[in-house]
Structure 1
């Protein structure tokens, strides 16, 4: 059966810096081409995106620059939105997760799961920075990766080798906010029982998507499922984010990977009063375009959340590209090793289509690819 309508999402970029050409090649150009094709076929399609404004890197940047997180996201949301506009990425809406409609939508989603008795409330010991007097989210802890020995791995992932980590696995952990060695303190959080959705996910992905999804996406999902899923905390200790909508949750916000994908729903709500047709009718085809570092969140965690809530369609496909390297070296925002889109637009006026063509012809569809200025010229 042909879908009656299409909802296409592109990964929400973090509003803690500009977008670079790796972002364009990996996620936004493929999504834009797909949407333009659907529009040319006169199909009903909505293309949604927006800034993810509650990530940990945003609070770190604000602290380091001596400004507020709101000032950080206001600055970079404007730069990112303008870059996409000039590059011809034809979103129907480019929203923000700091918008009121998003706070309300993600809080209502959380409350529904809470009222249905789905969360496990657990007290645990978490790392605390005694110098800054704050609990440290996984991203606030850095240390040596146990897999590749990268000395600056984060507590949730090593960006060098891509391994998903927990802070306990880091060698010589330290706070990203100070020089303090983190200590453990008790705190309470609400855990989503991912393990209870393992059978559903295996049937849906392993049995149902093997020949439909790209091998890199299917392989990563299967690996996660083969290793077994664990309950995952869906709240964090922070003063920046969507407040947890419970009376005993002061100083707690929704985990960014709980609230960010709901940003697709809230952006659709902003776009059209008929938003539910695109999210809740079985004759909708939902497609998430992402980078490979977001596969687990879009293919395992978010679908499990949608299934738990009930009434939502699941993604039909989740095309994820590999990475685009620059001159043989992996893009690194911290080392400023990137070709920033806003700078390209200033340095090469009226050359947007040239860049679109080069990135399309060199797209990292099945393996990491390389961008060089020599090839570009």
Structure 2
């Protein structure tokens, strides 16, 4: 019998950083695991300790009219070269069928929508790291879309394999068959991540959807437009983004004391890491081989967690190193 127990400090870290009861689509998500037995209590912690790949589910935009939707569908089908798939195996190929779909969605919105700025569709990307079988990403994405939107919102999707990361572009009509509009909250996005991860695991792909703090990550990921602007600047092809200018100014006038939110962040990470160390040592003393293995994996996981550093602290350190190099260079030329 296992001696495993979920570490109390880490259990809090595994909870999504939002109130799940605020999710609008929770009942649909729960259908994914209905009828299946629950996994062992330590299964998720095992995946976290082994650093299995994390899924990405991201809303990339909304289309505002028929023309906008048409351009988006042209993009995800590579101007008709890729097939769009819909519910129940429906397949749309060629510019004419894609154009007809865009017109149908726009026309239905014109009849039923009461606001001019109501979006026609929601654009979602489902992605996994390089090396994952694209076919399984495709099948998991189909299951994800069917579970969440199949009986309420029309949708189409296309698999892209021309990038290192296999990913699916999923386009969902914002206006549901019941007249309700799709307006996901943060809680929905976390449930969507967990749903996609479960669908991948059902197909033999190791995947997780844990909050950043459970993995020792304290910085939010860079938004795609900001990242592209920064990369252009670093290549010498554009001006420095305003967000980067502001971050560098903040780092240059680094305060004598850490901000209250930085103190809380460090305290939370310290609690999480301490809880994991205690559990790792306890499991390593277990009589069960599986527990001892998990204990060793946990110890390695904690030892290799990244240092706790905010963006301001990282930039301040980089500025200090750059200033140090300049001063050493001036000293050598004297």
Same fold (TM over 0.5): no
Q: From the two aligned structures, give the one with the greater strand fraction.
A: 1
TM-score by length of 2: 0.23
Larger Rg: 2
TM-score by structure 1 length?
Answer: 0.21
